Amino acid sequence: MSWEEVDKGWGDQAHVWASIMEPRWWPEFDAVLRATEVGQGTNYLDIACGSGFMINMAARRGAQAHGLDASGRLLTLAKRRTPGADIRHGDMNALPWSNETFDVATSCRGIWGPNQEAVVEAARVLKPGGCLGLSFFSAGRESSQIGKAFHAIRRISEHEIEWSQQLGEIGLEGRAEEMCENAGLVPRDRQAVQFDLEGADIEHEIRAWMSAGPAWMAIQERGAEEVESSIREELSQLEEPGIGVRTQVQIEYVVATKPT
Ligand SMILES: C[S@@+](CC[C@H](N)C(=O)[O-])C[C@H]1O[C@@H](n2cnc3c(N)ncnc32)[C@H](O)[C@@H]1O
């Protein structure tokens, strides 16, 4: 799929992603913003920024916030969230900023296994001494609680079986670090952050997952009803009376510096 087509999947339920899915990842955004020391006056870029929750968190810390995503409909919401930020529509493999512009660039589950070129682009726009924060699912997510959501989609979608494996390879030991080194960056030790995705009930959970790009692909292949019932079957196992559906997730991240 070319970057111009990304909005078909990610944009279809953009308002749902923005309001009930993206905010649930705040512990990951917080960990990466802390590790990259985003604060007052940081010239900051979020790559594949989605509907811009992380951009908003960075702007509240005093950063000059910028973002880029391929989904125009997600970006409409990102701009609404943080009107003062510089938010652009485009491809992470061809960033529309000059060399050595940013102190910090991040990408949370936006750059994946096959996206070496995007890491090279991120390195290009960093100032010497600047850093890239990259976060991704820990390898082994298949057997974790978050794996249930991906399994629900993958088991009914031919496209997602193969594609999701390639995407997830960034979580393999040493792979993200290697991608940074290939781009001339110097990675520090990998860190991890754990949290629960909180859903009020199974209907809330289904709505949240149906708004993600991979679900859209599966919906095209098998229809919304089948995708919905597959998600219901997997995630209702996590529902607890009076608690809702809590799904444990483990994210890992690497911070890599551009040599001076
Ligand atoms: C899993 S979402 C992550 C979004 C956001 N970082 C977050 O944490 O909520 C992946 C994002 O990558 C974007 N994307 C996919 N391919 C892209 C490309 N070639 N260039 C820019 N953005 C892309 C999608 O539109 C989507 O917003």
CATH of the domain at 51: 3.40.50.150
Structure tokens given for 59:
């702007």
How many A from CA of 71 to the centre of ligand 1? 8
User: Does 148 reside within a domain?
Assistant: no
User: Does 44 reside within a domain?
Assistant: yes
Exposure letters 196-210 (e unless 16+ CB within 10 A, then b): bbebeebeebbbbbb
Please give the Cα distance from 147 to 233 (Å, whole number): 13
User: Does 112 reside within a domain?
Assistant: yes
Helices 26-35 and 53-60 cross at an angle (nearest 10°) of 50
* pLDDT over 90, % of the chain: 82
User: Does 211 reside within a domain?
Assistant: no
Does residue 17 have its Cβ closer than 6 Å to ligand 1? no
Range of the domain at 63: 3-139+169-196+246-257
Does residue 28 have its Cβ closer than 6 Å to ligand 1? no
Least confident of 48-52, 82-86, 112-116: 112-116
How many A from CA of 165 to the centre of ligand 1? 17
Exposed/middle/buried for 83, CB within 10 Å: 0-12, 13-18, 19+? exposed
User: Does 99 reside within a domain?
Assistant: yes
Beta strands 86-89 and 64-69, pairing class: parallel
Exposed/middle/buried for 116, CB within 10 Å: 0-12, 13-18, 19+? middle
Structure tokens given for 168:
């997830």
Please give the Cα distance from 200 to 244 (Å, whole number): 5
* pLDDT tens per residue, range 20-68: 999 999 999 999 999 999 999 999 999 999 999 999 999 999 999 999 9
User: Does 161 reside within a domain?
Assistant: no
Give the mean model confidence (pLDDT) for residues 189-214.
Answer: 95
User: Does 153 reside within a domain?
Assistant: no
How many A from CA of 108 to the centre of ligand 1? 8
Mean pLDDT of the chain: 94
Which atom from ligand 1 is nearest to the alpha carbon of 29?
8
How many A from CA of 48 to the centre of ligand 1? 4
Look at the chain and report how many structural domains it folds into: 1
Structure tokens given for 7:
């909005």
Matching residue, tokens 């992470």: 92
Does residue 22 have its Cβ closer than 6 Å to ligand 1? yes
User: Does 179 reside within a domain?
Assistant: yes
